[in-house]
Amino acid sequence: MLRFALKRLPLKRVAPGVPVVWVLLAGEVALMAADHLSRLNAAQRRRLLALTIKSRGRPSTLSEADRLELRILFAKFEPRLFVGSTVKRLSPVPVPKRLLYGPRAERSHRAS
């Protein structure tokens, strides 16, 4: 359907050099990121943002307690599952489960 629309409709590009497909893919990734961010409550999201701003992209600028808190908040975001599910959603080929959930040994620890 999308391929048909892109070939038949006059809007093949949103702006010069920006194909519609890339805009749709970016929107899809943004929706998936919002889904993963919803796993944190509002206070946790604010704290994650505050720590990220405070660190200016370098966790070494934070105190040890702040780094630990950042690690805990980031783990709740589940970055491996986010990246894996994004790749799974956008990839035309099947994605191995280890990409989504980690190695088997790691998965067995989570189950218990």
Mean pLDDT by 10 residues, the chain (112 residues): 55 61 82 84 87 85 88 83 81 76 63 49
Half-sphere exposure of residue 1: CA atoms within 13 angstroms, side-chain side: 0
Q: Is the pTM of this model over 0.75?
A: no
Dihedral angle, C-alpha 91, 94, 100, 105, nearest 10 °: -150
CA distance 100 to 80: 6
Domain ranges of the chain: 1-39
Contact 89, 83 (CB under 8 A): no
Give the per-residue pLDDT at 40: 84
pLDDT digits (tens, 9 = 90+) for 81-97: 888 888 888 777 887 77
